[in-house]
A and B are shown apart, each in its own frame.
Chain A
Amino acid sequence: MNRASPLLAIGLLAACSGRQSPLAPAGDQAETLHQLFLLALAVCGIVYLVVVAALVWSLMRRGRDEDRDGAMRGLNRGLWATGIGIVLGVTILIVGSFLADRALFATRGEDALEVRITGHQWWWRIEYRVGGTARWIETANELHLPRGRTTRVLLGSADVIHSFWVPNVAGKIDMIPGRRNVLDLTPRQSGWFRGQCGEYCGMQHAHMAFDVKVEEPAQFEAWLARQSRMARPVGDSRGMHGQAVFARTCSACHAVRGTTASGRAGPDLTHVGARRSIAAGTITMSRGALQGWIAQPQALKPGTSMPAIPLAPADADAVAHYLAGLR
């Protein structure tokens, strides 16, 4: 990789600011894998340099063999040395891989906050378990994690295979219909990160992302408490109108807890206004973006299950206003 090492260095620098990169670890699991990556990069880099050096030497040499038997003995020794060298290098990496694998599961025996995440074409249903009970608090497309604590994610799928990947925090694990996978996340740095579906899941695989916020435990608890509440009552007449239109046209698929809307096909929108993005990381949240999304979902995310429902301009405006107020 000599020829490309400047490129790689630039890439590494660029990636360090990345909010979706295994090279900028912000959690224990990603840190373990990052160290394993650096070890593998070092071993493989050395091997590549040796191979290229040997190749160049062989080409420059042009077979000047005064002592043919001596040269052959040298080659035979070289063959053994190569074999032993490879076995050593591979052994280092296998042991490293094994230790990393153990580290990924180090928290498995401990109690942890449980979050159930279900993949849908093409969004994420996220449910937090209320400590020790069978009650779950539902949200979608935005995952909040307490810093310094272990969160246990239970992964499943409602339709096809997806893959849950927040590279700054941990490696990816597939979400498979008929199976339940478990992944422990122990973030160590606060901030916003991004996750994305890792397994091709159909037309809008590219727009199946989600936001991840790692925050201090106190902040997290406050956030979770807000999420557990019913939707806040609407204060103004435009909002009331929006709620009525929503109940009439959107509630077959979407739920807003505390109202009559209780559809389960699409994301729960009880606190949608507080989220950072719309349509699984497709567009940034704003009142205007909400209205645009309601008007033209197929233009923004072709193939999405969200239909374009013709609404009078005043109705669309009221629904967007209502949703933006659901914080």
Chain B
Amino acid sequence: MTPDPARMDALDATWKDKPGLWGFLTTVDHKRIAARYIVTALLLMFLAGVLALDMRWQLSVAENTRMGPQLYNESFSLHGSTMLFLVSVPVMEAMALWLVPLMLGTRNMAFPRLSAFSYWLYLGGVLTLWIAHALDITPDLGWFEYPPLSGPSYSPGHRADIWAQMITFTEVAALAASVNVAATILKMRPPGMTLARMPVFLWAMLIASLMTILSMPAIMLVTSMLISDRLVSTHFFAPAAGGDVLLFQHLFWFFGHPEVYIIFIPATGFVSSIVETFSRRPLFGHNVLVLAILAIAALAFGLWVHHMFAVGLPRLGNDFYTGASMAIALPAGLQIFCWIASIWSGRVVLHTPMLWIIGFLATFVIGGLSGVMTASASLDLQLTDTYFVVAHFHYVLVGGAMFPLFGAFCYWYPKATGRLMSERWGRVAFALIVGGFNLGFFPMHVLGLMGMPRRVYTYPAEMGWEWLNQVATAGSVIAVLGGLVFVGNALASYWRGAPSGPDPWGGSTLEWACPSPPPAWNFAYTPRVSSLTPMWEDASRIAVFDGIAVDRREVLVTSVTDAVPVYRQKSASPSIWPLVAAAAVSAMFIASIFTPWAIAAGLLPIGAALTGWFWPTRARATSGPLRARS
């Protein structure tokens, strides 16, 4: 696959961004945009982690006065909203944005400018929430702001509006990213990569994207209804005027539960990739894994009510949702069996990414099992809204999604930078984070069972919760230290790491075929795939196609099921319009907190930006034969 230098120069000339600030602002390169997404999300993870440490400090002593109630309530609201809406979901989309074209052997996403728009709008949401925090208008009602508490009567001021609009920002950004990922995976696979030959990672990203597209409208609807109640005095959630406060909860969790799997399913994709590579065998049970992800995705839309068992809904329904929630154990358990079976029958190499997978399995299963406990409609009445639930969702989100993410970061780091991370410091970070996390969060199960409710800024000394809270605080400190080691290792390795070459781990999928770091154009030729693990089929001789233009931006579009080449599609060039459009949309969203007229007035600049963006050009698609190269 090594192309000749002249071809590489030509590709560089076509695909490389302009240098400097203009190139930075106009780029549509999926790798640059995804890297921005990931760096922003990691920075926010750090900031929200500092908030968590501060809260742990407050709770380590009964009747502590480090924080007052207002500051504490703001802290957990900002921590939860940031971690869920601005870290977990976006970072998973960003991983897809970075990896999907590489794993497909293609040159960019299906809608390159939409990738850029998605990031800029996400950044708008980030700035809205965190600049508001700097201005002391921090949302203070948790990461789900139930009315009537969040309604106009009980939350005057703009804290609740900031939260609701931040959601709108991130959800539009998430929809843009998801549509892009789904279209790319369905229409831009390399010849030969039929649906049956699609790696589990791509299935995971495809399914998570489709779930995003199906679930996000519910949250956008519900936050818009909340804003209407607050801004123009509609009464969706006002019981005195015939509204219903539970409508909010239903719509929120119809999104909120799938969201958990929108975070977890990409993680199963990371796990599958890493387990396959480091077990040195094709994954055991590929079909089972894919069907399990599909089953989880389908079930995810049928169990939102398990977040509402204590609201007093009809009991027959509660039993149904108990069954549906517990049913998740079957596909999730089979997934875990397949990964362990792959390790069992492979020849395991324990590099850092694989350590993270072991940490994931040992930790996530606890979260899964505590999830089975809370899935019981009756037992949940003792567990919901206590520290047991706090422990549970941190076990599934951190153990189940962040540990695989950290593993994925270590695994694909050499691909992104061309350098290896230090194994020694990688192990230190792994031990500190996994050990600290378990020390910090396991005691919270017990605290919940000792009656400690969540979201309390303090508690009386005689409740006997103090010492376990101190253990939890100590564990969190250790985990954060581990996080600093992890980041330090990543930074040091960026400049000092040993060169990795294109394929340091002996990976099984196509991204390992291109150079590290990948050039702007990713692949010089279109690869041809004949198995699930193309890199293990005599990798030096992957069959490739020529015929995609070198002198203009062009990508190959193939059919949905069989990946038969269909036509060559013009790929969008760098443009400032996505940034302008995102800025216009941001202005409208923020102004609409203050006046409904902003929605009408704001449409004009948005319309102007979109006109510039979509100004027609000739030759959107071309046809012509692909030539097989040997």
A residues touching B (Cβ–Cβ < 8 Å)? Answer: 1, 3-4, 7-8, 11-12, 14-15, 17-18, 20-23, 30, 32-33, 36-37, 40-41, 44, 47-48, 51-52, 54-55, 57-59, 61-63, 65, 71-72, 75, 78-79, 82-83, 86-87, 89-90, 93-94, 96-98, 100-101, 104-105, 121, 159-161, 163, 165, 167, 170-174, 176-179, 181-182, 194, 196-206, 281, 302-303
Contacts and interface: CB of A to CB of B under 8 A. Distances in A.
Contacts of A41: 373
Given A44-B373, A181-B312, 18 more contacts: A4-B438, A8-B446, A18-B463, A23-B450, A36-B378, A54-B340, A55-B362, A63-B345, A71-B345, A83-B330, A93-B376, A94-B326, A159-B148, A160-B146, A171-B378, A171-B381, A201-B149, A281-B460
B393 interface: no
A48 B382 contact: no
B311 A174 contact: yes
Interface in B343-390: 343-348, 350, 358, 361-362, 365-366, 369-370, 372-373, 376-386
B409 to A, nearest CB: 22
Contacts of A82: 333-334, 337
A40 B379 contact: yes
A154 to B, nearest CB: 11
Contact of A40 (B68, B373, B438, B457): B373
B187 interface: no
Contacts of A174: 310-312
A40 to B, nearest CB: 5
A161 B310 CA distance: 11
Contacts of A303: 69-70
B55 to A, nearest CB: 12
B442 interface: yes
Given A36-B379, A94-B322, A97-B378, A48 B366 contact: yes
A172 B385 contact: yes
A178 B240 contact: yes
Nearest to A162: B149
Given A20-B463, A62-B347, A48 B365 contact: yes
Given A3-B438, A90-B330, A22 B348 contact: no
A37 B446 contact: no
Interface of B: 68-70, 73, 140-142, 146, 148-149, 153-154, 239-240, 244-246, 279-281, 284-285, 288, 310-312, 315, 318-319, 322-323, 326-327, 329-330, 333-334, 336-338, 340-341, 343-348, 350, 358, 361-362, 365-366, 369-370, 372-373, 376-386, 438, 442-443, 445-447, 449-451, 453-460, 463-464, 468
Contacts of A87: 330
A80 to B, nearest CB: 10
Given A62-B348, A198-B386, A79 B337 contact: yes
A8 to B, nearest CB: 6
A148 to B, nearest CB: 22
A126 B399 CA distance: 43
Nearest to A25: B382
A3 B442 CA distance: 10
A203 B333 contact: no
B148 A79 contact: no
13 contacts: A11-B443, A11-B468, A14-B450, A23-B449, A23-B450, A32-B378, A33-B378, A40-B372, A48-B366, A51-B340, A79-B285, A178-B245, A202-B141
A167 B386 CA distance: 11
Nearest to A205: B455
Nearest to A23: B449
A90 B372 contact: yes
A101 B149 contact: no
B244 to A, nearest CB: 7
A226 B347 CA distance: 77
A179 B455 CA distance: 24
Contacts of B379: 33, 36-37, 40, 97, 100, 171
A325 B561 CA distance: 82
Contacts of A199: 146, 310, 385
A75 B345 CA distance: 9
B146 to A, nearest CB: 6
Main secondary structure of the interface of B (DSSP, over half): helix
A173 B381 contact: yes
A83 B366 CA distance: 18
Contacts of A281: 460
Contacts of B142: 200
Contacts of A98: 319, 322
A100 B329 CA distance: 21
A163 B382 CA distance: 12
A11 B312 contact: no
B444 to A, nearest CB: 10
Contact of A176 (B240, B311, B333, B386): B311
Contacts of A61: 344
A319 B366 CA distance: 55
A17 B462 CA distance: 11
Contacts of B344: 54, 57-58, 61, 63, 75
A171 B311 CA distance: 12
B348 A196 contact: no
B326 A90 contact: yes
Contacts of B281: 63
B310 A172 contact: yes
Contact of A51 (B245, B336, B343, B385): B336
B68 A196 contact: no
Given A8-B446, A78-B341, A94 B148 contact: no
A167 B451 contact: yes
B258 to A, nearest CB: 21
Contacts of A200: 141-142, 146, 149, 385, 454-455
Contacts of B239: 177-179
Nearest to A164: B310
Contacts of A97: 319, 322, 376-379
B53 to A, nearest CB: 19
Contact of A163 (B68, B327, B348, B385): B385
Given A20-B463, A22-B449, A178 B69 contact: no
B156 to A, nearest CB: 12
B378 A44 contact: no
A58 B343 contact: yes
A93 B450 CA distance: 23
